[in-house]
Amino acid sequence: MSPETRRRVGTWLAIWAAMVLVLVLIGGATRLTESGLSITEWKPVTGVLPPLDHAAWEAEFARYQQIPEYQQLNMGMTLAQFQVIYLWEFSHRLWARLVGLALALPLAFFLWRREVRGALAWRIGGILLLTGLQGAMGWYMVKSGLTVRTDVSQYRLAAHLALALVVYALAVWTGAELLGYGPRRTKALDPMREASLRRRTAWFAAFVFVTIMSGAFVAGLDAGHAWNTFPLMGGRVVPPGYAALSPWYLNLFENIAAVQFHHRLLGLTVALLSVLLWRFSRGVPLPGGSRRWFAALAVLAALQMVLGIATLLLHVPVPVAVLHQLGAVLVLTAALLALASLQTKDGRQDSPAVLDRSPAPPVSSR
């Protein structure tokens, strides 16, 4: 692949990853505004158009009035109020379709031009397949709230978000490789310490992913609306009712007190680990670009912690909560790019000109 083609394909994937990030944020706002069940049918093709006249709006509203969410929570909602939540969910579904087309059509073009081949073609094809599965998972999630429940299953919500993040991470990683953030360097000056840093960064990225998943359960259970104090919950470090469910493992996923408590602990741990990772990276001879990613990671994790606390204390206002979700994905992105910047390959030693080294201590004259 020529440098020009690498840059073109890498830029496309970077832009596409940004579109996926926007999709995640729209999905978060849809959940926060309780809009996800407003469209009770899945029409992959004909659903690209909203209701176009008053009769069509009345028909959509009548279908919504048949589900438990309306009957138990929103009885008396006006048509104008329904239109607001409907347009949130419609925007989410429409943007998801655009995301799929923005991957499928350029991929077909690059394949036709034979500019994307071999392992790269299979990888991007896999991302496209996962994107389709992500759409199906979205409808599977919505179905869980149309018959008995008044909201969607928190398990399906977490699975829906997990697939989105996997798709996003694959796009970010592939784009980083093509644009030069990946295996662009040669042998490390200190291979053992750099290998240790790579392992720590990989584990950190996985830990961030787990923390985001815990946030999905907080959102699915509306746990952010309980115990809006910090650092204590109900005047205690461990909240009352923490282990109320049996068997014990249900508390991890269905107990509001435990779910919020765990998310707090995980979020604070991410902030602490990001600082420790940055400090460890300071002792490894790295290119300046790699060093900047670790510094950015620590700053983003600290800001994300502040946003999480603000979201809680302010009783989950939608704009702040969406910013909190954005911060989570940006922390994951910085971790992925920091890891990609550490990739090495056999060959010539790194040029000292591109390394960011601490000054050597003075040598004694004796």
The reported pTM is 0.90
User: Which token pair is 181?
Assistant: 């953030």
Segments making up each domain of the chain, as ranges:
1-180, 187-346
**Segment 177-218, tens digit of pLDDT:** 998 765 445 555 677 888 899 999 999 999 999 999 999 999
Distance, in Å, from the CA atom of 81 to the CA atom of 186, rounded to the nearest integer, reads 59
* Cα–Cα distance for residue pair 138/157, rounded to 1 Å: 8
Q: Is the model's pLDDT at 255 over the cut of 90?
A: yes
Crossing angle, helix 54-64 and helix 79-112, to 10 degrees?
A: 100
What value does the mean pLDDT of the chain take? Answer: 90
> pLDDT by residue (tens digit) across 307-366?
999 999 999 999 999 999 999 999 999 999 999 988 765 433 333 333 444 444 444 443
The predicted pLDDT at position 186 comes to 52
